Amino acid sequence: MSESRKQAWQALKDQPAETLTQLFAADPDRVAKLSARLAIGPGSILFDWSKTHLTDGLLDGFEALAEAADFTEMRRKLFAGEVVNPTEGRAAEHSALRGVGKEASVEEAAALLARMQLLVEAIHEGALGEVRHLIHIGIGGSALGPALAVDALSRDLALVDVHVVSNIDGVALEAAFARCDPATTLVAVASKTFTTTETMTNATSALKWLAENGVSDPYGRVIALTAAPEKAVEWGVDETRILPFAESVGGRYSIWSSIGFPVAMAVGWEDFQAMLDGAAEVDVHFRDTDGRANLPLRAAFADLFYSRLRGAQTRAVFAYDERLRLFPSYLQQLEMESNGKSVTAEGKPVDGPTAPITWGGVGTDAQHAVFQLLHQGTHLVPVDFIASIAPGDELDPAHHRILLMNCFAQGAALLVGRSAEDPARAYSGNRPSATILVDDIDPATLGALIAFHEHRTFANAVLMDINPFDQFGVELGKEMSNKIDRGLSNFDASTIALGEAAGLG
């Protein structure tokens, strides 16, 4: 670690430890200082980090760390389309799809999106006959973003009924078949590489299902979403139905590209564009704001305070909104696949823990299941709450009022705790949380929420000196799975026994 980084971490360690109650009592401006509102589309998002332990001293210290980590230069490189993924020699240009980035990349992205818009609108207008269902086949970043956005945004009125299938377990694909009419179904094959075993196996089975159910030209019902269009052609998809995206867009950052096709199919182009625009507003904030006022960076300061200085091994995210029920699983890939690393960007062992384990769920369900541990367990778990002021339902307003009351009460209870004579009934309090409160869940705020977390992830990586854009940790298991196919003999005794028991030997 560089001398300046070491000094910055030491200064952070030397900061006094105060409880949240003390921090609120000592500073009447705490909420004003640590919460901020970003205008997004027609609404806004409030980011309240006041219930974390961040102080002026810690913020000074983290700003010094950001300087030692060359954060400003790394951010410039990110938006300039320069190499920020050194192990693969690549840029990371997902923001170009939102219109923010290197000019040439923004233009290229706009052209690809224009092509996607033409196809989406043509299909909506009947160019491929009646289309009532879309089976979207992809995995990881090629599935989690589409699943989240379709689920969040098309509950009231989906223009097309979308089924996202990721698992190689045929049960998943069969469930989609059972709910689709083959004569009015399109199949989107979403894979950056167009080689992923799960996706290609599922896609082949989907074609077979179409053929066996009276569709005379199954390939004519396929749309390929990929950064490897030549592979899609080889596989049999006609070029007019291939929607490419740039190699410099990482899988877990690809919802903005043609991987977002099912979202545009479900909500229409205007709303898909609004999602990109909402994300762009966060890009501009992240690109142009310095120090603690930069909200994704500020969130990363708090993340690192807990993971590196307080030993938190996990961070929990609870969406107090049914429309965001898939947000925690989306974040798991974004954060853990990006920052679950053991070496620095230069390939040296890291000097502290990297990404905590991201987990979470939906409020209020989670309160009746896992919140016991958050309030009284022995682990320190920083919590993020995400909620919407506007309801997603049209039932008695009591539903949404109770939902929000519960969300805010949980943060307050974690903060203050409660003393009791009976130790089993006592709450220590002083447990941190952050709250993200959106005016409403709409395409723009969803785009902004996702972009906020992308940049938070990047900021964490820069401060930890790791590369968030590769994922070599997923390779070994894939290779060994192929090896099992060739024979069990070179495996450990346990794996051989399991394989033989299941008849794989």
Q: Of 144, 130, 188, give the one whose Cα is nearest residue 336.
A: 144
Q: Are 191 and 146 in contact (CB under 8 A)?
A: no
3-class DSSP assignment, residue 399: helix
Part of the chain binding ligand F6P (CB under 6 A), chosen from 60-68, 192-200, 261-269, 444-452? 192-200
Tell me the per-residue interface mask from 474 to 503 with ligand F6P, x by CB under 6 A, - otherwise: x-----------------------------
Q: Of 190, 300, 299, 193, give the one whose Cα is nearest residue 255.
A: 190
DSSP state of 137: E
**d(Cα 459, Cα 298) in Å, to the nearest integer?**
9
> 478 catalytic, yes or no?
yes
Residue 222 burial by Cβ neighbours in a 10 Å radius (0-12, 13-18, 19+): buried
Part of the chain binding ligand F6P (CB under 6 A), chosen from 14-22, 41-49, 188-196, 272-280? 188-196
**d(Cα 308, Cα 460) in Å, to the nearest integer?**
11
Characterize 183-212 residue by residue with b for buried, 16 or more Cβ atoms within 10 angstroms of its Cβ, and e for exposed: ebbbbbbbbbebebebbbebbebbbebbee
Two structure tokens written together for 377: 């367990």
Two structure tokens written together for 158: 């989906």
Catalytic choice (93, 198, 281, 337): 337
- The number of residues that bind ligand F6P (CB under 6 A) is 14
Catalytic choice (6, 13, 348, 478): 478
Two structure tokens written together for 411: 């943060």
Question: Considering beta carbons, is residue 105 or 196 the nearer one to ligand F6P?
Answer: 196
Residues 382-401 close enough to bind ligand F6P by CB under 6 A: none
Tell me the per-residue interface mask from 130 to 169 with ligand F6P, x by CB under 6 A, - otherwise: ---------xxxx---------------------------
Q: Are 220 and 203 in contact (CB under 8 A)?
A: no
Given 61, 251, 262, 356, the residue binding ligand F6P (CB under 6 A): 251
Least Cβ distance, residue 367 to ligand F6P (angstroms)? 32
Strand order in the sheet with 161-165: 161-165, 133-137, 185-190, 222-226, 242-244
Question: Considering beta carbons, is residue 50 or 254 the nearer one to ligand F6P?
Answer: 254
3-class DSSP assignment, residue 468: coil
Q: Of 16, 9, 4, give the one whose Cα is nearest residue 56.
A: 16
385 phi, psi to nearest 5 deg? -105, 140
Q: Decide: is 354 part of the binding site for ligand F6P (CB under 6 A).
A: no
Catalytic choice (3, 130, 346, 368): 368
Question: Considering beta carbons, is residue 140 or 363 the nearer one to ligand F6P?
Answer: 140
Q: Decide: is 191 part of the binding site for ligand F6P (CB under 6 A).
A: yes
Q: Decide: is 192 part of the binding site for ligand F6P (CB under 6 A).
A: yes
Q: Decide: is 278 part of the binding site for ligand F6P (CB under 6 A).
A: no
Given 163, 252, 323, 453, the residue binding ligand F6P (CB under 6 A): 252
Q: What angle in degrees, to the nearest 10, is found between the helix axes of 144-153 and 443-464?
A: 150
Question: Considering beta carbons, is residue 141 or 361 the nearer one to ligand F6P?
Answer: 141
Two structure tokens written together for 418: 């409660």
Query: Which one-letter amino acid corresponds to residue 7?
Result: Q
Least Cβ distance, residue 257 to ligand F6P (angstroms)? 11
> 337 catalytic, yes or no?
yes
Question: Considering beta carbons, is residue 52 or 142 the nearer one to ligand F6P?
Answer: 142
Q: Are 415 and 51 in contact (CB under 8 A)?
A: yes
* DSSP collapsed to 3 states, 138-164: CCHHHCHHHHHHHHHHCCCCCCCEEEE
Question: Considering beta carbons, is residue 34 or 224 the nearer one to ligand F6P?
Answer: 224
**d(Cα 226, Cα 137) in Å, to the nearest integer?**
12
> 285 catalytic, yes or no?
no
Q: Decide: is 338 part of the binding site for ligand F6P (CB under 6 A).
A: no
Part of the chain binding ligand F6P (CB under 6 A), chosen from 56-64, 129-137, 189-197, 211-219? 189-197
Least Cβ distance, residue 443 to ligand F6P (angstroms)? 22
Least Cβ distance, residue 179 to ligand F6P (angstroms)? 24
Question: Considering beta carbons, is residue 154 or 199 the nearer one to ligand F6P?
Answer: 199
Residues that bind ligand F6P (CB under 6 A): 139-142, 191-193, 196, 199, 251-252, 337, 471, 474
Residues with catalytic annotation? Answer: 337, 368, 478
